[in-house]
């Protein structure tokens, strides 16, 4: 029996293979892709094959009087779906109830066109998207949130209503210790929570002789907070204002007091290290840090040339990547000065071709 009845038609999960076959496929793709740079062993961190995604988006499709969730199809723009086994159980339990509630209220149903779900171990949040004025259905939305016991955000062009809270609270357990995180609905989050916990533990296990850490693309502190307990001081930057706001909250709620978070792009930070002045850096003396480790977790586009040139000056680099192609391009340059010591594959995206990697590098002269 296949993992999902929509396999073969759905554009989201496209690997119609057993889990062992998927592992072998991903492993051999990565081995082959990085053959020119690394000949050592690869660690593979597996995932649950169902209920692993804590964030999911669906379209809402109207047909006669009925409503359906949709995904992009492999061969069609909209594929009607009535199950999505990859999503967290809280989401899969809620999905039919939400759809029935919309079907049962003409005002709520009218011009609803999309939805997003985020589930943490403390909260569940639904975003409903409308092509109509949501202020006209404020009361209906409020009742929907109350009846389903959810946090709800409704959006239509230029308008947003929040019922409950748009702040989500999450807890991770890393090496037996609880870490608490707060973030907002629009934030970047690692979609596969249990694999994310494995990634953080793996990074922790690979820190040798720590002094200070520079972390770029830190989000709301996913790696930063647990890592901070290994280092003397941590400097972490991120472009998103909201993410930095929550990173600071997360540092406090986990009693991590050796952190400086900067709301600045990595490219600007590189200029700052070269002497450019930014008001946002007024309280920070960049010369005070003695970075033994640099951690980067960039978006799919990978690292800017200025970032690569900068990080090559440091002894230890940890590169987390959701795109093996840009990772390979960037490593070709970094491996001119550094050697790959350890390479891991984190199977965040089961049943898809997407692959998350982690790479530990050490400067050649320091080996
Ligand atoms: C793959 S996410 C990683 C976030 C975080 N490390 C985590 O594990 O949740 C990449 C992050 O880089 C941020 N970002 C994108 N472009 C950036 C840039 N030019 N400079 C700094 N941060 C950037 C995004 O806002 C996002 O939070």
Indicate which CATH number applies to the domain containing 196. Answer: 3.40.50.150
Q: Which domain holds residue 141?
A: 55-119+124-164
42 CA to centre of ligand 1 in angstroms: 25
7 CA to centre of ligand 1 in angstroms: 31
pLDDT score of 264:
97
Question: Looking at residues 40-44, what average pLDDT do you find?
Answer: 98
CB 223 within 8 A of CB 250: no
pLDDT score of 44:
98
User: 297-325 pLDDT, tens per residue?
Assistant: 999 999 999 999 999 999 999 999 999 99
13 assigned to some structural domain? no
pLDDT score of 26:
98
CA 168 to CA 198: how far, in whole Å? 21
Which of 135, 164, 193 is a domain's end point?
164
217 labeled binding residue: yes
Would residue 136 be called left, alpha or beta, if left means φ above 0 and alpha means ψ between -120 and 50 degrees? alpha
Pocket test for ligand 1, best of 168, 299, 346, 349 (most atoms within 8 A of CB): 299
DSSP string of 140-179, one letter each residue: HHHHHHHHHT-EEEEEETTEEEEES-SEEEEEEEETTEEE
Q: Say if residue 147 is in the same domain as residue 284.
A: no
CA 226 to CA 241: how far, in whole Å? 21
Question: Looking at residues 61-76, what average pLDDT do you find?
Answer: 94
92 CA to centre of ligand 1 in angstroms: 28
Percent of the chain past pLDDT 90, that is, above it, reads 95
Q: Say if residue 23 is in the same domain as residue 110.
A: no
pLDDT score of 282:
86
Pocket test for ligand 1, best of 170, 187, 188 (most atoms within 8 A of CB): 188
pLDDT score of 204:
98
Question: Looking at residues 70-77, what average pLDDT do you find?
Answer: 93
188 CA to centre of ligand 1 in angstroms: 8
For the chain, the average pLDDT equals 96
Minimum CA distance residue for ligand 1 atom 27: 219
Atom of ligand 1 nearest to the CA of 304: 19
CA 365 to CA 151: how far, in whole Å? 53
Atom of ligand 1 nearest to the CA of 224: 6
CB 358 within 8 A of CB 343: yes
DSSP string of 256-325, one letter each residue: --SEEEEES-HHHHHHHHTT---GGGTT--GGG--EEEEEE---TT---HHHHHHHTTSSEEEEEES-HH
Q: Say if residue 241 is in the same domain as residue 310.
A: yes
Q: Say if residue 88 is in the same domain as residue 183.
A: no
CA 145 to CA 349: how far, in whole Å? 30
Band of the pLDDT at 1, cuts 50, 70, 90? low
Q: Which residue do the tokens 């669906």 mark?
A: 58
Pocket test for ligand 1, best of 200, 219, 306 (most atoms within 8 A of CB): 219
Residue 125 has pLDDT above 90, yes or no: yes
User: 336-352 pLDDT, tens per residue?
Assistant: 999 999 999 999 999 99
Name the catalytic one among 10, 84, 218, 322.
322
151 assigned to some structural domain? yes
pLDDT score of 366:
74
Q: Say if residue 60 is in the same domain as residue 84.
A: yes
pLDDT score of 365:
80
Q: Say if residue 142 is in the same domain as residue 260.
A: no
Would residue 83 be called left, alpha or beta, if left means φ above 0 and alpha means ψ between -120 and 50 degrees? beta
297 labeled binding residue: yes
Cα–Cα distances in angstroms (integers) from residue 206 to residues 219, 316, 329, 362, 366, in the given order = 21, 10, 23, 11, 16
Pocket of ligand 1 (CB under 6 A): 188, 190, 217-219, 222-223, 237-240, 243, 265-267, 297-299, 322
Closest to 298 in 3D by CA, of 217, 192, 244, 188: 217
Which of 138, 164, 190 is a domain's end point?
164
CA angle, corner 195, sides to 74 and 332, nearest 5?
80
What dihedral angle (degrees, nearest 10) is formed by the CA atoms of 98, 99, 102, 104?
A: -110
User: 231-285 pLDDT, tens per residue?
Assistant: 999 999 999 999 999 999 999 999 999 999 999 999 999 999 999 999 989 889 9
Q: Say if residue 64 is in the same domain as residue 43.
A: no
pLDDT score of 17:
93
4 assigned to some structural domain? no
Task: Confirm whether 322 is a catalytic residue.
Answer: yes
Q: Say if residue 43 is in the same domain as residue 86.
A: no
11 assigned to some structural domain? no
Question: Looking at residues 125-134, what average pLDDT do you find?
Answer: 98
348 labeled binding residue: no
Q: Say if residue 221 is in the same domain as residue 102.
A: no
The CATH number that applies at residue 144 is 2.40.50.1070
């Amino acid at each position: 029996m296949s993992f999902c009845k929509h396999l073969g038609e759905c554009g989201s999960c496209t690997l119609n293979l057993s889990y062992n076959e998927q592992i072998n496929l991903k492993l051999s793709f990565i081995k082959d892709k990085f053959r020119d740079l690394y000949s050592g062993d690869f660690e593979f961190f597996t995932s649950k094959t169902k209920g692993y995604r804590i964030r999911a988006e669906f379209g809402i499709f109207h047909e006669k009087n009925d409503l359906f969730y949709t995904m992009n199809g492999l061969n069609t723009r909209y594929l009607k779906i009535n199950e999505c086994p990859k999503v967290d159980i809280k989401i899969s339990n809620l999905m039919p109830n939400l759809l029935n509630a919309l079907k049962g209220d003409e005002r709520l149903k009218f011009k609803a066109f999309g939805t997003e779900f985020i589930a943490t171990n403390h909260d569940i949040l639904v975003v409903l998207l409308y092509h109509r004025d949501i202020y006209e259905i404020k009361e209906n939305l409020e009742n929907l949130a109350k009846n389903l016991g959810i946090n709800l955000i409704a959006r239509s062009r230029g308008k947003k209503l929040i019922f409950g809270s748009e702040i989500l609270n999450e807890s991770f357990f890393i090496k037996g210790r609880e870490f608490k995180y707060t973030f907002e609905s629009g934030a970047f989050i690692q979609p596969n929570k249990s694999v994310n916990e494995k990634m953080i533990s793996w990074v922790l296990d690979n820190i040798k002789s720590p002094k200070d850490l520079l972390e770029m693309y830190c989000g709301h502190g996913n790696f930063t907070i647990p890592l901070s307990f290994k280092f003397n001081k941590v400097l972490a930057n991120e472009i998103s204002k909201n993410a930095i706001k929550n990173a600071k909250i997360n540092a406090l709620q986990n009693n991590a007091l050796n952190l400086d978070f900067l709301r600045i792009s990595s490219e600007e930070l590189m200029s700052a290290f070269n002497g450019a002045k930014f008001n946002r850096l007024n309280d920070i003396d960049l010369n005070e840090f003695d970075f033994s480790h640099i951690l980067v977790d960039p978006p799919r586009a990978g690292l800017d040339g200025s970032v690569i040139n900068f990080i090559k000056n440091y002894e230890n680099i940890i590169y987390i990547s959701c795109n093996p192609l840009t990772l390979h391009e960037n490593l070709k340059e970094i491996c001119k000065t550094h050697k790959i010591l350890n390479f891991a594959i984190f199977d965040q995206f089961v049943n898809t071709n997407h692959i998350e990697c982690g790479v530990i590098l050490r400067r050649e002269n320091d080996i």
